[in-house]
Chain A
Amino acid sequence: MSEQVKASGSRKQSFSEFMEKHRAGDFFQKYTMTIALVLVTIVFATWKGKEGLILLPANITGLIAENGYVFVLATGMLLCILTGGNIDLSVGSVVCFTAAVGCTMMAGGANMWVTALVMLLIGLAIGAFQGFWIAKVRVPAFIATLAGMYAFRGFTNVLLNGLRVDITNEGFLQVFGNGKTSFIPDVMRDLFPGLNETFTKDNAFLTGLIGENFVTKFNVTCMCIGILAAIVFVALRVHKILSQKKLGISQSIPGQLVSMVLITVLVLWICFKFSCYRGFPMVLIWIGLVLGIYAYITTKTAIGRHLYAVGGNEKATALSGVKTRNVYWFAYANIGLLAGLAGILTAARAKGIDPVYGEGYEMDAIASCFIGGASAYGGTGKVSGMIIGAVLMGVINKGMVIVGVDANFQKVVKGIVLLVAVMFDVLSKRQKR
């Protein structure tokens, strides 16, 4: 008996040693928001009477499409926040202004690509203009962009005479929008007509796999894109782990493998859901491009490094020979450019522009960054974290609509989520010191 007790005691100890060794505490701290996202999703997916609704293909596609602007703007906002907790309040107005210019141009018959380019350039110019005041004249970012928020809302009203302008350019809607047409068509079925005969309700295996409702319309191209993306992702991860091993960087390899497998499964699952609905939404290509490019910029390039360094310690960075003012300028010019892109996506989604569009967009972007673990004092924060933050907000929004939470009450929930998220962040950092 006593031996048994001893044995279980030592097993307990070895368990705590295991936790210690694999830095389980660090793990939870690192993935707090991911865990929160999973829990929130489970809550909505098991809501009584609404079981599984949020996981329906149409709702998953809708979640991405509706929040396209959030991902794009939050990416730009993250760069500004990195420089020291600076935010850009003007993005909502800039989105609306660029969209207004674009819609007016297309109403006058302009080419869709020229229009898109002009919209991006206007966004960039506005960002650079605001960045000039912030970086060179040292107007506090909050004030400079607050001024921009008023001014560009005003310009939009002047330009639109307070009226809505519709987009009739079908090409623009198809490439940037998310209506019925804005999905990557199922070219695989066109290329291999045999597929149409394979994907029928008679094929017991595929019906079992995909489900009776979806099997005839299943988008094979989309699933192929997903599988390809998963393969590329696994290859990159394996390469990273191998090169880390070669350099002797001590990283928990099991942990990395687990996260790799989880992300791969998630990508395949989401693409499967898309395939069951209409296929791969066009807007996701733009979001993916932006997220990919900026994940690269923030982790691999010198300017990305400078963003973190300035936010971490501006004086030390300046004394290291970095022109810190230019770093601020870059961050604000960049968010202008991305606001231009968000303007394109917003106009295409709404098939036009109304002078009130874009209100509150800046707050969604800011909230996503902070929920995603960016420090309110700058210097820390990742694109990946920001994605989790944005998705969490999206799931909560969508979930509340599905389970029928009162629209007025939804904002209260959003506010509470933001407060709790940042509170977790602050507390976990305090324990460290």
Chain B
Amino acid sequence: MAKILLEMKNITKTFPGVKALDNVNLQVEEGEIHALVGENGAGKSTLMNVLSGIYPYGTYEGDIIYDGKVCRFSNIKDSEKLGIVIIHQELALVPEMTIGENMYLGNECGHKFAINWNKTYSEADKYLKMVGLAESSKVQVKTIGTGKQQLVEIAKALAKKAKLLILDEPTSSLNEEDSRALLDLMLSFKKQGMTMIIITHKLNEVSYVADKITVIRDGSTIETIDNHGTEPVSEERIIKGMVGREMTNRFPKREGVAIGGTEMEISHWTVHHPLYPERKVVDDVSMYVRKGEVVGIYGLMGAGRTELAMSIFGQSYGVNFSGELKLNGKPVKMKRSEADAIRHKIAYVTEDRKGNGLVLSQSIKVNTSLANLGAISSHSVIDGDREYAVAEEYRDKLKIKTPSVEQLVGNLSGGNQQKVLLAKWMFAEPDVLLLDEPTRGIDVGAKYEIYCIINDLAAAGKCVVLISSELPEVLGMSDRIYIMNEGKMVGEMKASEATQENIMALILRSGRGA
């Protein structure tokens, strides 16, 4: 048996209110490629952040043993000194700087008071050659494509003398060809003795490169599968490990709701990326929602769910739209305007309540009325009493816990903030509600209350589109489920027919098939 390079023992990491990692164990042998798989939020990235010192020693429990020694990293520099280098999912390059400058950013070579540019660029070129990049290191990063940028990230890691390389979803923004090239590069590094950990959602990649596969679910290690057998490990085998949790009664029942006619329908809906207009973010999507129906849209991160919802909501995301939107059977030509969408009785409840949803420096009252100020004012003068009454009404209805509606939203808990956000959009009196991750980052009790609100909305004849990356939530709440992957609608099922396994399988296979 080969030498064990890294061992993480009984790692437990808690955030306020949440146990992100619970007694996680991980063993990585020298010279292997080890894959970490699991759903979004299972704890993969948290584990890697513990390993690389982003969460310093003392903020977690358990031991990290690297190269036979117990390590206590207090920051990322400590772990890099020992050759543990992490490449994050989001590219961390400065577009305006050259490749060489980026590679040695924070790690500049030369004297204390003067950077040795000749050395920087010649060293950089050497590492670029190793990753198979023909570009000169004096080229600005913004002029090369994302595939090459990912290679620059790897070259940057090599320049730090990496012994253990951690790649967090390295292929998520790459096309098929670049992905394959990257995986082959990993295999060639392996031959030279490099140890690597790869986090990925693409199971075909896992079976292609990985020697061992560790499955993480809900913050715990489930199993480690050996991929050395004559037959590669089947995807079904991995999926079962990823989603095999018990479904408990976490969702309130919705009973006796009559589903009516089609309220909103989109066909051949295509949206392009605002910065890279050649990229399709939403690709030929068709779907419909009926009155009184809760429709779930499930997909992994980057599947295009948020982009789909925002593009329906007054084209607030993307460029070069095509496709047709029908409301109540009539085609609607909507202007590129959120106000127009609100007029057409569509509401989009954002996934990012702090960034895009609420004005944290203002009161509950002000936030509640913001999307529908016209309803409480005459000649654009606000009727303070009516506004207060409205805020009170929604505070009661949604059980927002606060001493007063004059309370600043920034002082509320996440669950209560989410309720204020819902109140705001319910007060806008929409017929169609696009709820984007409505329970993200809130505790179980508040989640249940949000689910009850969703059921009430459906019972009142509204159409609810529930976008979520939590499979159990989509399964538990929806009447019908659409599955998205890489901008495309890859499946539609009735809730009664859907299972975690067949949804995951649909996504993973569509990713490979493309």
Residues of A at the B interface (CB closer than 8 Å) are 243, 247, 249-250, 300-303, 305, 308-309, 311-313, 315-323, 375, 379-380
Contact = CB atoms under 8 A, between A and B. Distances in A.
A319 B348 contact: yes
A305 B373 contact: yes
Interface in B121-176: none
A308 B358 CA distance: 12
A82 B140 CA distance: 38
B184 interface: no
Nearest to A243: B385
Contacts of A319: 313, 316, 338, 348, 350, 356-357
Contact of B370 (A243, A309, A315, A379): A309
A312 B371 CA distance: 15
A309 B385 contact: no
23 contacts: A247-B388, A247-B392, A249-B404, A250-B403, A300-B382, A301-B381, A301-B382, A309-B359, A309-B362, A312-B361, A313-B355, A313-B359, A315-B356, A316-B355, A318-B316, A319-B313, A319-B348, A319-B350, A320-B342, A320-B370, A320-B371, A321-B342, A323-B339
Contacts, number: 91
A309 B347 CA distance: 18
Given A313-B356, A320-B370, 16 more contacts: A247-B392, A300-B381, A300-B384, A302-B374, A303-B380, A312-B362, A315-B355, A316-B356, A316-B359, A316-B370, A320-B338, A320-B371, A321-B371, A322-B338, A379-B361, A379-B362
Nearest to B405: A249
B406 interface: yes
B29 to A, nearest CB: 45
Nearest to B353: A316
Contacts of A379: 359, 361-362
Given A249-B406, A302-B380, A322 B339 contact: yes
Contacts of A312: 359-362
A278 B350 CA distance: 60
- Which DSSP category, helix, strand, loop or mixed, fits chain A's interface? helix
Q: How large is the interface on B (under 10, 10 to 19, 20 to 34, 35 or more residues)?
A: 35 or more
Nearest to A432: B411
Nearest to A324: B338
Interface of B: 313-314, 316, 337-339, 341-342, 348, 350, 355-362, 366, 369-371, 373-374, 377, 380-382, 384-385, 388-389, 392, 403-404, 406, 424, 428
Contact of B362 (A302, A308, A315): A308
A308 B408 CA distance: 13
A308 B382 CA distance: 14
A247 B359 contact: no
A380 B409 CA distance: 14
A313 B360 contact: yes
B338 A316 contact: no
Given A305-B373, A308-B359, A313-B360, A247 B424 contact: no
Given A302-B373, A308-B359, A321 B380 contact: no
B380 A317 contact: no
Contacts of B355: 313, 315-316
Given A300-B384, A316-B359, A317-B359, A305 B366 contact: yes
A308 to B, nearest CB: 6
B357 A302 contact: no
Contacts of A250: 403-404
A384 B403 CA distance: 26
Nearest to B380: A302
A308 B377 CA distance: 17
Contacts of A321: 314, 337-339, 341-342, 371, 428
A292 B441 CA distance: 44
Nearest to B357: A316
B370 A305 contact: yes
A21 to B, nearest CB: 13
Nearest to A240: B384
A311 B359 CA distance: 9
Q: Which 8 A-B pairs have the closest CB atoms?
A: A312-B359, A321-B339, A320-B371, A302-B380, A321-B342, A312-B361, A379-B361, A321-B338
A313 B314 CA distance: 19
A321 B375 CA distance: 14
A73 B228 CA distance: 76
B315 to A, nearest CB: 12
A383 to B, nearest CB: 16
Contacts of A311: 361
A323 B341 CA distance: 13
